[in-house]
A and B are shown apart, each in its own frame.
Chain A
Amino acid sequence: MANRIKEKYLARKKYFDYPMLFLVIFLILFGMVMIFSTSSYKSTITYGNPYHWLIRQAAAVVIGAVFMIAFCKIDYRVFKHLFFARGCYGLSIALLVIVLAIGAAKKGSVRWISIGGFQFQPSEFAKILLVMYLAYTLSRNAGKMRSFWDTLKVLLKCVPVIGLVAYQNLSTALVICAITGVMVFVVSPKTKELIGVALGMVGVLVAYLAFSSSYRNERLQIWLHPESHEKGLQTMQALYAIGSGGIFGKGLGQSMQKMGFVPESHNDMIFSIICEELGLFGAICLILVFMALIWRMLLIAMNAEDLFGSLIAIGFMTHIAVQVFINIAVVTNTIPPTGIPLPFISYGGSSILAIMAEMGIVLSISKRIRL
C-alpha cells in the first residue's frame, strides 16, 4: 500500500515553478539594489554610513526568505480547514483592533505594532489572512452560491476587515477591496450583478473624492494641478525624476532627485528614481518583469490542483497587480496621490515579509500541479 502510493507519487512528474522563483528572486535583489541606490545618500547624511536602510531591508528579506521557504515546503492544503479559515479571520480582526487600540491610547493614527524593535504593519498581514479565509470560504461554497444574496453574504463577511483597515489607511483598504472583489467575482455566478456593484463602488468613490472632506478633495486638486498646489511638491519632484530619466536614464546610481528632492525616494516613490536612473527602457523592463510574474501566477491559478489553490493564487496575483498599478499610476500622476508601496522594490519590512510569504504559498501551490 505504502509502496503503491510512493510509486504513484514518483510516476507523477514533479513540478516546481522555477521561472516564478527566478522572477521573485530577481525582483527582491533588484529592489535591494534600488533601495541602496536611493537611500545611500540620505543614509550617509543621517546615519554616517550608506547602508542603514539597506541593512534593515536585508534583515527583513532574510526573515522573509525563511517564511517563503517554510510556506513553500508546507503543503498548502493543510490550510484548507474551517478552523484555520476562522482563525485567519479572527486573527486579522484582532491585529487590526490592537493597532487601533494603540492608536487610541497614543491619541493618534498608528499603522503599526512594535514588537521587539521591529515595526510591523497588521494591514499587510491582514491581506494574506483575508485571502486565505476567502479562498477557503469561496471554494467551500462555490457550488452553493446561486442567488445574489449568497454572493453578498460572502462580501459582507469581509466588510469588518476592510472597514478596520479603511479606518487607518484608505488606499490599503482599496487594495483589499480589489482582492476581495476579484476572488468573489471569479467564483460567483452573478457576474453581471457584481460588475454592476463594482462600477457602483467606483462611482461612489469618485463622488466621495470629488465632494467629500477637504483632505480627500485636496488630493484631487494636487492631482489636477500638481505644479501650483502647495502640497504638489512630492508629485512634481517625482515627475522631475521620471522626466529627466529620458529613454535610457542617467545610469544606475546617478539620480539627482534622490538627493533629498523626492521625499520617500526609497519608499513609495522609488519607481520615480528607477525611471530617472534606468530610463523608460528600464521602467518598461520592470513592468514586463511584473507582468511575467503575474503570468506565472495566472498559470498556477489556472492549473492548480484545487479551487482553494487557484483562489489563493488569484488573490495574491491581484494583490501584486493592483499595488504595482496604483504605485506607478501615483508616481506618474495618472491618478490622485496615495501611499502604496511598490511590491518587492519599496523599502518596508512588513511589505516584503508579507509578499515573500505569499510567494512561498503560491510556489507551494505550483508544486501540486499535475502535468
Chain B
Amino acid sequence: MKTGYKKKILGITGLICLGFSVVAVRLGYVMIAQSDKYQELARDLHQREREIKAPRGNIYDRNGVKIASNKAVYSISVIYSQMTDKKKVVQVLSEELGLETEEIKGKVYKNSVREKIKSNVEKETADRIREYKLDGVKVDEDYKRVYPYDSLASKVLGFTGGDNQGIVGLEVFYDKYLKGKSGKILTLTDGKGIEIEGAYEERDEPVAGNDLYTSLDVNLQNYVTQACEKVKKEKNAKQVSMILMNPQNGEIYAMANVPEYNLNEPFKLNSRQQQADSKKQQEYLNQKWRNSCINDTYEPGSVFKIVTAAAGLESGKVKVTDHFNCPGFRIVEDRKIRCHKTTGHGSETFREGVMNSCNPVFMEVGARVGVDGMYDMFRKLGLFEKTGIDLPGEANSIMHKKKNVKAVELATMSFGQSIQITPLQLLRAASAAVNGGKLITPHFGVRTVSADGKKEKIFEYPEKKGVIQKETSETLRDLLKAVVSEGSGRNCKIEGFSIGGKTATSEKLPRGNGKYISSFLGFSKAEDPTVMGIVLIDEPEGTYYGGTIAAPVMRSVFQVALPYLGISKDYTAEKENE
C-alpha cells in the first residue's frame, strides 16, 4: 500500500480517535459531574409514593357509646396504561357498580394516569370486582366516617369531608386529635407505573387518630331532641333549641337544634332547594348545619333578669324584701315602657317581682345599680366574651357601647331587651349566678385516648371563681326556685324535685311582626344545681309565652333527666308545696 494512502488512513483513524475521545469526555461529564443530578431525577421518576390512610379516631359519649366511627369502604379506580381489556372493564364495572356504561366508558378511555370510578364502595362489591382480576383496575381500601345515630347531635358533632378532614362541629374542632397521621409506602415502579415486585420498599406506618370522649349523653341527647321535635310540631315553630349542661363544671350533656340533619348525608337538600343555583344551595347547607345555640344571638328577654337581679343584690342596692310598685308601666325619660301585665302588678316585694317577672321592678333595679354596675356584672358573668366552648364559629354578644347607654337603654337592658347574646352565653352567666359564683367554660371534649389506649390527654378548661358572692348566689337560687314553685315558671314544677328557673318571651326584631322566641331556663336541684337547661322555641304559632309553652318542655325533659342523673327527690320541697 502506498505511503500516501497510509498517511491518510492514519489521519482518518486520528479523526475517529478524536470523535471517540469527545464522547468519552462527554460520558465522563454526565456520569461523574452530573451523576447526582440525574440520579435524583431518576429516583423521582421511579419512586411512587402511595398514601396509607390513617383511620380517624372515634367519638364517644360520656358512657362510652360510640357516636362517630369509621367503616372500611373501597374506592375503585382504573389505570389507563395498565388496562388490557377495556371493553370488559367497562362491562364489569358498570354491572357491579350500577353506573351508566357511558359514564364509565368516558373514564376508562380517558388517557390519564389514574381515573377514579367510584369511592365509598361496599366491601362485598369490592371483593367481587377483585375476583375478576382485571388488569389496570385498582381496588383501594379507604375509610368512611359513619354516624350510627344519623341525626343525633348533628349540629354538635359535625361531619367530615372527602379527605376525612373535619368540616364542621367537633369533627373540625378536634380534627388534629382525630385525624391521625397517614403513612406512606415508597415503591419503585416501571415506566407504566406498575409496581415492581420485590423491589426495595420504604414504609411509614400510619398513626391512627385519637379517640375523643365527650360529655354528651346519648340518652339525654335523644330525649332532649324528641322533646324539641314534639314542641316544634305542636307549635309549628321554625326551630327549637335546647342545651342541658352541668352548671358546676360546664360539661354539656345534650345540645339539640331541631331540625337536625342526617350526618351520614350532610349534603342532601330537599327537592325544592336542589333547584336553586350552587351559591344558594351552599347557603341552604350552611343554614342546615348551623348550631343556633352558639352561632346565633337573640334578645334574651326576661331570663336575663337573673343578671339584673344578680347586679342589684351583689351591689346591695336591692334587697329581697324591698317594696316596689308596678302600675303596668314605667316612665323613663319621655317614654312609657310597659310591663307585660298592662294592668300592673301593684305593690310587690322584689321577691314577688322576680316571681311575676315584672318589668318595672327590674327597670327600677337597673336604674338603682346604674350603667357602671350593670356593665360590671355583665363582664363578671362573661357576657362580653365568647364562652370558649369547643366548637367552631361561636358568636359574641352585641351590646350597647357603654357611653351610649342612657336611661332608656339601661331600662330595656334590665329586662333583657336591646342587647343580644347567644343562648349559651346566657346559660353560662346563669350558671355562675346560681353555682356560687363560678364562671365555667361550657364544653364537650373530656379527653382523648390514643388508638392503642396508651396515651391519654385530659382537657382542662378555665374556671373563674368568685365572680359573685356565695350569698348573692344563694339568694338568686332561692328566688328562682320560687319562680318555679309559685311564679311564672310553674309549668316546670315536678312533684318531689326542687327546681329553679326563669321564663322569657322575646319579641323578635323588628317589633310588631308577631314573631317571638319563647324560652325557659331551669336547673335542679335548686339548692345545689347539677343540671341546668335552656330551651328556646323560635317563632311558635299560637300561644307564645315562655311560661306556657317553653317551661313544659323543660319539665318533660327534667322528668326523665333528673332521675337519670341521680338527682334525688327532695321531700322537703314536696312538703313545702303542700
Contacts from A to B (Cβ < 8 Å): 41, 182, 185-187, 189, 191, 239-247, 256-257, 259-261, 275, 279-280, 283-284, 287, 290-291, 294, 298, 301-304, 307, 310, 314, 318, 321, 324-325, 328-329, 332, 334
Identify 15 new A-B residue pairs, CB closer than 8 A, beyond the known A182-B12, A240-B45, A283-B31. Answer: A185-B8, A186-B5, A242-B38, A256-B42, A261-B191, A280-B27, A287-B20, A287-B24, A291-B17, A307-B5, A321-B16, A325-B19, A328-B23, A329-B26, A332-B23
Contact B1 A280 (CB under 8 A): no
| B24, B37, B191, B196: most-surrounded residue (chain A CB, <10 A) | B191
In the complex, what residues of A have CB within 8 A of residue B41's CB?
240, 243
In the complex, what residues of B have CB within 8 A of residue A256's CB?
42, 46, 188
The CA-CA distance from A41 to B192 in the complex, in Å, is: 12
Is residue B565 within 8 Å, beta carbon to beta carbon, of the partner chain? no
Q: How large is the interface on B (under 10, 10 to 19, 20 to 34, 35 or more residues)?
A: 35 or more
The CA-CA distance from A231 to B261 in the complex, in Å, is: 54
Contact A259 B190 (CB under 8 A): yes
Is residue B6 within 8 Å, beta carbon to beta carbon, of the partner chain? yes
The CA-CA distance from A325 to B22 in the complex, in Å, is: 9
Closest to B19 in A: A325
| A186, A291, A304: most-surrounded residue (chain B CB, <10 A) | A186
In the complex, what residues of B have CB within 8 A of residue A275's CB?
27, 31
Contact A243 B35 (CB under 8 A): yes
Contact B16 A332 (CB under 8 A): no
CB distance from A76 to the nearest CB of B (A): 15
Closest to A298 in B: B13
14 A-B interface contacts by CB (under 8 A) = A242-B27, A243-B34, A256-B188, A259-B190, A261-B190, A280-B31, A283-B31, A287-B24, A291-B20, A314-B9, A314-B12, A318-B12, A321-B19, A329-B19
Contact B190 A41 (CB under 8 A): yes
CB distance from B113 to the nearest CB of A (A): 14
In the complex, what residues of B have CB within 8 A of residue A283's CB?
27, 31
Is residue B563 within 8 Å, beta carbon to beta carbon, of the partner chain? no
Contact A242:B12 (CB < 8 A) given known A259-B191, A261-B45, A321-B19: no
Contact A334 B22 (CB under 8 A): yes
The CA-CA distance from A194 to B230 in the complex, in Å, is: 107
The CA-CA distance from A261 to B192 in the complex, in Å, is: 8
In the complex, what residues of A have CB within 8 A of residue B24's CB?
284, 287
The CA-CA distance from A212 to B68 in the complex, in Å, is: 69
Contact B12 A247 (CB under 8 A): no
Main secondary structure of the interface of B (DSSP, over half): helix
Contact A243 B191 (CB under 8 A): no
The CA-CA distance from A256 to B48 in the complex, in Å, is: 13
CB distance from B8 to the nearest CB of A (A): 5
CB distance from A84 to the nearest CB of B (A): 22
Contact A332 B46 (CB under 8 A): no
Contact B20 A240 (CB under 8 A): no
In the complex, what residues of B have CB within 8 A of residue A287's CB?
20, 23-24
Closest to A249 in B: B31
In the complex, what residues of B have CB within 8 A of residue A298's CB?
9, 13
Is residue B458 within 8 Å, beta carbon to beta carbon, of the partner chain? no
Is residue B30 within 8 Å, beta carbon to beta carbon, of the partner chain? yes
The CA-CA distance from A332 to B12 in the complex, in Å, is: 23
Is residue B466 within 8 Å, beta carbon to beta carbon, of the partner chain? no
The CA-CA distance from A233 to B522 in the complex, in Å, is: 75
Closest to B196 in A: A259
CB distance from B484 to the nearest CB of A (A): 80
The CA-CA distance from A256 to B43 in the complex, in Å, is: 9
Partner of B42, one of A186, A243, A302, A307: A243
Contact B16 A328 (CB under 8 A): no
CB distance from B195 to the nearest CB of A (A): 11
In the complex, what residues of B have CB within 8 A of residue A329's CB?
19, 22-23, 26
The CA-CA distance from A247 to B26 in the complex, in Å, is: 13
| B5, B46, B196: most-surrounded residue (chain A CB, <10 A) | B5
Contact A241 B42 (CB under 8 A): yes
| Nearest 4 Cβ contacts at the A-B interface | A243-B38, A260-B191, A259-B190, A240-B42
The CA-CA distance from A244 to B41 in the complex, in Å, is: 9
The CA-CA distance from A249 to B22 in the complex, in Å, is: 21
The CA-CA distance from A325 to B17 in the complex, in Å, is: 10
Contact A301:B27 (CB < 8 A) given known A243-B38, A244-B42, A259-B191: no
Partner of A239, one of B1, B12, B30: B30
Partner of B1, one of A185, A244, A310, A328: A310
Contact A246:B8 (CB < 8 A) given known A259-B196, A287-B20: no
In the complex, what residues of A have CB within 8 A of residue B191's CB?
259-261
In the complex, what residues of B have CB within 8 A of residue A182's CB?
12
Contact A186 B8 (CB under 8 A): yes
In the complex, what residues of B have CB within 8 A of residue A325's CB?
16, 19-20, 23
Is residue B393 within 8 Å, beta carbon to beta carbon, of the partner chain? no
Is residue B273 within 8 Å, beta carbon to beta carbon, of the partner chain? no
In the complex, what residues of A have CB within 8 A of residue B37's CB?
243
Closest to A281 in B: B31
| A256, A284, A307, A329: most-surrounded residue (chain B CB, <10 A) | A256
| A187, A191, A242: most-surrounded residue (chain B CB, <10 A) | A242
CB distance from B26 to the nearest CB of A (A): 5
Is residue B28 within 8 Å, beta carbon to beta carbon, of the partner chain? yes
CB distance from B335 to the nearest CB of A (A): 78
Closest to A261 in B: B191
Contact B32 A280 (CB under 8 A): yes
Contact A242:B9 (CB < 8 A) given known A294-B16, A307-B1, A321-B19: no
Contact B27 A328 (CB under 8 A): yes
The CA-CA distance from A298 to B34 in the complex, in Å, is: 35
Closest to A318 in B: B12
Is residue B39 within 8 Å, beta carbon to beta carbon, of the partner chain? yes
Task: Digitize B81-101: 1 where CB-to-A-CB distance is under 8 Å, 0 elsewhere.
Answer: 000000000000000000000
Partner of B5, one of A259, A310, A318, A324: A310
Contact B20 A242 (CB under 8 A): no
Closest to A262 in B: B191
In the complex, what residues of A have CB within 8 A of residue B45's CB?
240, 261
Contact B20 A301 (CB under 8 A): no
The CA-CA distance from A337 to B23 in the complex, in Å, is: 14
The CA-CA distance from A242 to B37 in the complex, in Å, is: 11
CB distance from A170 to the nearest CB of B (A): 19
Contact A324 B8 (CB under 8 A): no
In the complex, what residues of A have CB within 8 A of residue B30's CB?
239, 242-243, 332
CB distance from B547 to the nearest CB of A (A): 78
Closest to B29 in A: A332
In the complex, what residues of A have CB within 8 A of residue B46's CB?
256, 261
Contact B39 A246 (CB under 8 A): yes
CB distance from B539 to the nearest CB of A (A): 64
The CA-CA distance from A294 to B13 in the complex, in Å, is: 8
Contact A332:B38 (CB < 8 A) given known A186-B8, A298-B13, A304-B1: no
Partner of B31, one of A257, A260, A279, A307: A279
In the complex, what residues of A have CB within 8 A of residue B39's CB?
243-244, 246
The CA-CA distance from A240 to B46 in the complex, in Å, is: 11
Partner of A244, one of B17, B22, B35, B190: B35
Closest to A195 in B: B11
| A189, A191, A240: most-surrounded residue (chain B CB, <10 A) | A240
Contact B31 A245 (CB under 8 A): yes
Closest to A314 in B: B9
In the complex, what residues of B have CB within 8 A of residue A247's CB?
31-32, 35
The CA-CA distance from A242 to B1 in the complex, in Å, is: 42
In the complex, what residues of B have CB within 8 A of residue A302's CB?
1, 6, 9
In the complex, what residues of B have CB within 8 A of residue A314's CB?
9, 12
In the complex, what residues of A have CB within 8 A of residue B13's CB?
294, 298
The CA-CA distance from A290 to B39 in the complex, in Å, is: 27
Contact B23 A240 (CB under 8 A): no
Contact B20 A260 (CB under 8 A): no
CB distance from B450 to the nearest CB of A (A): 39
Contact B27 A186 (CB under 8 A): no
Contact B31 A301 (CB under 8 A): no
The CA-CA distance from A309 to B13 in the complex, in Å, is: 17
In the complex, what residues of B have CB within 8 A of residue A243's CB?
30-31, 34-35, 37-39, 41-42
